[in-house]
Structure 1
Amino acid sequence: MSANSRLTVAAHVLTWIGLYQRRGHEVATSEQIATSASTNPVVIRRLLSELRRAGLADSQRGAGAGWTLTRELSAITLLDVYRAIEPGPLFALHRAAPDPECVVGQGIGPALSAVYDGVEAALRRELAQTTLEDVLQDILKAA
């Protein structure tokens, strides 16, 4: 099973736009962002559409088209980004109900739900403590 990089790419996109705007640019194109993230602009546009729906980014059409942040990096947490792109639970139970006559089948859902709920709560707490400004400052320190 491969790891999901959507949160990483979304944080990259928003942090890049924030830095780009700080450097005096009004909007960033998906092509520019895609170059930084080494991916296809279509992937960036799809991701930015989700971020726009969540109120984290906005787009301008026509002459000077591109993307902007809707708020400062210091006002966007990794939890905000996570919620925008991963609206469902982190873990899922069986798609089909397990055999209720089996002791494991009848008990696996409740046993794992408690664990999964705790893991997800810890994840959300941790993500809420880091803003994209924190991420940018770490990046700039390392550069």
Structure 2
Amino acid sequence: MKRDSRLSSVLHALLHMAEHDGPMTSEAIGQCLGANPVVVRRTMGFLREAGIVSSGRGHAGGWRITRDLSVVTLQQLHEALGEPAIFAIGNRSENPSCLVEQSVNAALETAFAEAEALLLDRFAHVTLADLAADFSRRYAEIHNQKD
């Protein structure tokens, strides 16, 4: 089963945008991600609807972050993307009247719900500013090693 990597891709794109002076085109973001510009536009459209980015047309056009990085959380981005499934695994539902299936599904459902709640709570406490600071720290460490 293919994993939904849109949140990771959006975070990647937004950090590139945060480091870039001025707007970034879908083509430039696509190059950073190794993605088709059409996919970039479609995905960034979700963020535009959520008020996180804006887009402009023409020679000086492109995508811009419109909110302060310190207030944009991973949870908000996850929600903007339509709250894709957190886990690629799920319950079997071939025979809902089967008591064994019911028992297994009840146990798994509880575990999935608890794990998802924990992850979403963590998402609520991590901001783009946190990720940008981590990137800056890592960048500085690499460049200080070369000196």
TM range (shorter): 0.7 to 0.9
Counterpart for residue 133 of structure 2: 137
SS of equivalent to 1:107: helix
User: Residues of 1 paired with 2:100 and 2:52: CA distance?
Assistant: 43
Q: Between the two proteins, what is the percent identity of the paired residues?
A: 34
Equivalent residue letter for 2:14: L
- Cα deviation digits, residues 86-131 of structure 1 (max 9, x gap): 424434544x56240x221233333222111101110011112211
Give the aligned CA root-mean-square deviation in angstroms: 2.0
Deviations 1:35-66 (A, max 9, x none): 11222212211110111122211112244221
- Deviation >4 Å, runs of 4+: none
TM-score by length of 1: 0.82
In structure 1, list runs of 5 or more residues that go unmatched. none
Q: Which runs of 5+ in 2 are unaligned?
A: 140-147
Note closer, same or farther for the CA distance 1:53–1:97 as it changes in structure 2 (3 Å cut).
farther
Equivalent position SS for 2:80: helix
When residues 8 and 140 of structure 1 are mapped into structure 2, their CA distance, relative to the original with a 3 A threshold, is: same
State the number of aligned residues: 137
Say yes or no: does 1:19 pair with 2:16. no
State the alpha-carbon separation in 1 of the partners of residues 83 and 60 from structure 2: 31
Which residue matches 2:144?
Answer: none
Cα distance in 1, alignment partners of residues 137 and 17 from structure 2: 18
Instruction: Choose the corresponding residue for 1:120, options 116, 119, 130.
Output: 116
Name the structure 1 match of 2:8: 8
CA contact under 8 A between 1:76 and 1:131: conserved in structure 2? Answer: yes
Give, in whole Å, the separation in 1 of the partners of 2:63 and 2:39.
Answer: 14
